[in-house]
Structure 1
Amino acid sequence: MSSITADSSSAAAGRSTLRGVLVAFASYAVFAFSDASIKILHGVIPSYQVAFIGALFGLAAVPFLKKREDGWLDMVRTSNRPLWLLRFVCGATGAICSVIAFTMLPMAEAFALLFLLPSFVTILSVIFLKEDVRWQRWTAVILGFVGVLIVLRPGFRELSVGHLCAAIGGLAAAISIVINRALGSKEKRISLYGAGLFGTLIVSGFLMLSEVTMPTPTQWIFLASYGLLGAFGNVLLLTAAQMAPANLVAPPQYSQMLWAIAFGYLLFNDSIDTPMALGIVLIIFSGLLTLARERKRGTPLPTAVAGNTQAALATAEDEKGGGGA
């Protein structure tokens, strides 16, 4: 009887894990649609205004991320104010830079640079957390940067502010993840989410004082799509992390590249040449290799890469616990 019970429990756990992975794929698809909404606006709305409105809609995710024991003031409470404020700044920087990147660059190219996030996390973890990083992870970092050089081909093609902003967006998200690791289990997820959300609202709101563009009804639809889909993606990602281990929830993020290529071809007349395709493959391989090494070491995994950089913290607390709840 105990054997039958154990088998049933194992089968149920397997089904839950599979559902969690499928929900993770769904969440990253939702993030890709959110990012496509930015590009559809074609830069007619200032980037800081798009980030501000997106953060306003991002408040819709708070009731789902908030646990019963959490208070609303926990969004601004913290065990380490300097690191919370750094997360505040990174949230605003990442959101604004990601909007600029998706506005100015082909979606696949923007994602290729944002996918440097795992490499940035490795470098920052060595510098600030004194993590022991061995040759396998350094190999992954080098492959990632080689892939970026192949994609960008500096000296052979013109680079823009969009490329710089995509790299800064990935770096800002990486700093946020290192902050999460440094704080450990002392910080509530709702506090980390609040830091990024309020950072984007306040910094973008301040920048909006110089210029505000009144969106048309159609533009409001895409602004709402950007913000609400970003919030919905965070909720789905949290749900996935509760159903499956974090080491299975993180890798599906690279499916966003397939969505980016599809959107680029169908909606924005983007094209990918052979060198860019090779560079993208190297960057994705670098990220997957990093995830594999960190899974083996039991290190909290870098999470979602998206224009909505709050995604990187949607499952923060679950990862601190070492996997799905």
Structure 2
Amino acid sequence: MPDDRSAPPPSADTTPYAGSVAAASAAPPVPPVTPRPARDRTGLAIAMMCAVSLIFAFQDVFSRMLGGAYPPVLVVMIRYWIFALFVIALVSRQPGGLKRAIRTKRPLTQIARGVILALEVVIMVEAFVRLGLIETHAVFSVYPLLVAALSGPVLGESVGWRRWTAIAIGFLGILVILNPGGGVVSLTALLPFAAALMFALYGLLTRHVSRDDPAMVSFFWTGISGAVAVTLIGIWDWQWLAPLDWVWMICLCVCGMSSHYLMIRSYEMAEASALQPFAYTQLVWVSFLGVFLFNETLRPNVVLGAAIIVAASIFTLWRQRQKSA
């Protein structure tokens, strides 16, 4: 949007001659008022992202509690119903409302994004129940490296040797977490990796559709198509929740809505590259909650592997920012 402060006043005569005549009889000039610089809200955005990470951690706690008592797809289905209502309410308040949000130039890709994300959430809840919060998130933190690795074949972007090296180091961190020499690796341990792969693909498709559709259109299709997809497979496992479990479900939905709203607001205030490193604080919260609420064990190899993955991911994000600059 053009800045009207850079234009002359509507009544001003900007020809040189008129300016010299006016200067002879005009009052002493008033010093120009320097416009106040735009307020840097990066600090507030970072604080909000840290809050989002904490809320996400509690969201995962409620997901694990409910996923241990009910089919994960049922938990995700009810959660998506509430999320879809939240999306509709939020989008309706935007310019153009629902009519604008429905119009997309890439409907098939938008539907695919929503379906992939919904299935990824189901897999994550299953991983929470089988592996625990700590190990699930330790492996899932590799998704930025998967985004970098897949950006070439999916979006046609070039990935230099430095980022490929960081990707290789990140996968080394996964091996440290899984500890294949310990003889405890199972297919269950690959669940969070599959979820990370799906989330990376979702992120790349989001960047792809952003070339033609605004963010609110993508947000609308994410909620609606995901809700439809998970309902088609989850409605067959329907059962009523116990009264106390409905309380946990409400807490889960409140966490989901508030975290997504705060995340949207934080990305409006600062660049994603500045915020992403602070999203890893979720690993800290998840580790704390996993140990004290579910008696999970924080094994040294998991801590070391997660540190390797996070360091490689932050380096990859930094290289992407340098390349964009």
TM-score by length of 2: 0.83
In the alignment, the residues of structure 1 paired with residue 60 and residue 205 of structure 2 have an alpha-carbon distance, to the nearest angstrom, of 25
- Is it true that 1:34 corresponds to 2:55 in the alignment? no
RMSD value, Cα: 2.3
SS at match of 1:261: helix
In the alignment, the residues of structure 2 paired with residue 134 and residue 244 of structure 1 have an alpha-carbon distance, to the nearest angstrom, of 26
Percent of aligned pairs with the same residue?
24
* Contact 1:115 1:284 survives alignment (8 Å): yes
In the alignment, the residues of structure 2 paired with residue 212 and residue 151 of structure 1 have an alpha-carbon distance, to the nearest angstrom, of 36
Deviation at 1:190, TM superposition (A): 2.6
What does residue 46 of structure 1 align with? 71
What does residue 313 of structure 1 align with? none
Q: 1:77 to 1:171 in 2, by over 3 A?
A: farther
In the alignment, the residues of structure 2 paired with residue 86 and residue 263 of structure 1 have an alpha-carbon distance, to the nearest angstrom, of 33
Q: Deviations over 1:266-291 (max 9, x none)?
A: 10101122211110100111111111
What does residue 249 of structure 1 align with? 275
- Is it true that 1:9 corresponds to 2:23 in the alignment? no
In the alignment, the residues of structure 1 paired with residue 130 and residue 31 of structure 2 have an alpha-carbon distance, to the nearest angstrom, of 60
Which aligned segments of 4 or more residues in structure 1 are displaced greater than 6 angstroms?
1-4
What does residue 212 of structure 1 align with? 238
**Equivalent position amino acid for 2:54 in 1:** A
**Equivalent position amino acid for 2:37 in 1:** S
* Contact 1:47 1:96 survives alignment (8 Å): yes
What does residue 20 of structure 2 align with? none
Higher radius of gyration, 1 or 2: 2
- Is it true that 1:295 corresponds to 2:321 in the alignment? yes
Gaps of 5+ in 1: 300-325
* Contact 1:91 1:199 survives alignment (8 Å): no
Q: How many residues align?
A: 295
In the alignment, the residues of structure 2 paired with residue 171 and residue 206 of structure 1 have an alpha-carbon distance, to the nearest angstrom, of 23
What does residue 23 of structure 2 align with? none
Stretch deviating more after TM superposition (71-80 or 105-114) = 71-80
* Contact 1:61 1:234 survives alignment (8 Å): no
SS at match of 2:182: coil
SS at match of 1:121: helix
In the alignment, the residues of structure 2 paired with residue 269 and residue 60 of structure 1 have an alpha-carbon distance, to the nearest angstrom, of 35
SS at match of 1:185: coil
The correspondence of residues 192-207 of structure 1 with structure 2, limited to 5 A, is 192-207=218-233
Pick aligned residue for 2:83 from 53, 58, 65:
58
Gaps of 5+ in 2: 1-29
